[in-house]
Structure 1
Amino acid sequence: MSAPTSRGGAAVGRLSDLSPVEAGAVMYLRLWGDGVEGRANAASDFDIALGANQGRATMLTLDRLCSLCAHHGRRPLVRHGLGCACLGADENCFAQMIAAASEGAREDAMMMASLIVRPDFAPALASLSEELGLALRRMTAAVPLPTTGHQPPISVLH
């Protein structure tokens, strides 16, 4: 019998089931949690897709958002590995929060934020979620999000 899995890490789906914004949110959460190299890869993606100024601003938003989750979370968010095709419960909540905020569904984003962080930090998390979600929307409108997080988007003719 295997060891019990944390509820936050339990697989609830697959990344391929998510919208591009949701999948991007999970990928960048994973990259941020992967340390300095992962964060550098995320920053590079943002710079390539959004330009230097907007890329830096988006990376700062990601850093603030993930730091808020790490320092004021109800508990640590459980992430799957970068190459994992599974979607964990915590990752799904994070992705849904980002997507809802980017669509202007602020009350839904606040509800999900309150599941991730203490209630007094939920408004800040929802606001940062909207910023990141809108940036991910701009990225997906311009080019598809990279699937690995460490390769820049490549244009394909056929």
Structure 2
Amino acid sequence: MSNSSTRGGAAVGRLSDLSPLEAGAVTYLRLWGDGTNGRADAASDFEIVLGADCGRAAMLTLDRLCSLCANYGRRPLIRHGLGCSCLGADENCFAQMIASASEGAREDAMMMASLIVRPDFAPALAALSEEMGMLLRRMTASVPLPTTGHKPPEAVLH
């Protein structure tokens, strides 16, 4: 691994340091990155907490958000395993972007989005972050996150 790809995985804190919304953003990023089983677990969480229609919409938003990061990222986002208590630098940036957007701090969300994706895709990422943040805000008002017990694959940092 090159130095630039490991830098994003450097532990900058612990998941327990984050708000429930931020921890949820990291958890669902990790689940999405774990592939089919992780995405099914995320979809199940969304449907249980938000109901069938809103749950499907939430999963679509998560898929669009993470796909944008994966397809147009400045580099691949480094994530830790689902069960890891560490918080990686990339994960923290992702969580802060979503939290900022959900609070209406659009300029801050745009700045963080421009760190994750190419500049021409930053506005779209910031807009999706606002949608995801509002959904996570609704979920954290209903039930503590995360609700899943998904086991991560071996191809993650921790």
Q: Same fold (TM over 0.5)?
A: yes
Identity of aligned residues (%): 84
CA distance in 2, matches of 1:120, 1:149: 36
Contact 1:47–1:56 (Cα < 8 Å) also in 2:
yes
CA-to-aligned-CA distance 1:34-70 (integer Å, 9 cap, x gap): 0000000000000000000000000000000000000
Q: TM-score, normalised by structure 2?
A: 0.91
CA separation in 1, counterparts of 2:146 and 2:92?
Answer: 19
Q: Which residue of 2 aligns with 1:53?
A: 53
Tell me how far 1:147 sits from its aligned partner: 5.3
Q: Which amino acid aligns with 2:128?
A: L
Q: Determine the C-alpha separation between the residues in 2 that align with 1:142 and 1:26.
A: 18
* 2:86 counterpart residue number: 86
Aligned residue pairs total 149
Residues 1:18 and 2:18 are matched in the alignment:
yes
Max Rg structure: 1
Structure 1: stretches of 5+ with no match in the other structure: 151-158
Contact 2:27 2:146 in 1 (8 A): no
Counterparts of 1:56 and 1:147 in 2: how far apart (Å)?
A: 16
Alignment of 1:116-131 (within 5 A): 116-131=116-131
Deviations 1:98-153 (A, max 9, x none): 00000000000000000000000000000000000000000000111125454xxx
- Partner amino acid, structure 1, of 2:98: I
The one-letter code sitting in structure 1 at the alignment partner of 2:90 is D
- Other-structure match for 2:156: none
SS at match of 2:131: helix
- Render the CA deviation track for 1:75-107: whole Å, top value 9, x for unaligned: 000000010000000000000000000000000
Aligned letter for 2:125? L
CA distance in 1, matches of 2:149, 2:133: 17
The answer to whether the 8 Å contact 1:9/1:90 transfers is yes
1:1-32 deviation per Cα after TM superposition (whole angstroms, max 9, x unaligned): xx978100000000000000000000000000
RMSD of Structure 2 on Structure 1 (CA): 1.6
In 2, Cα distance between equivalents of 1:147 and 1:11: 24
In the other structure, the counterpart of 1:154 is none
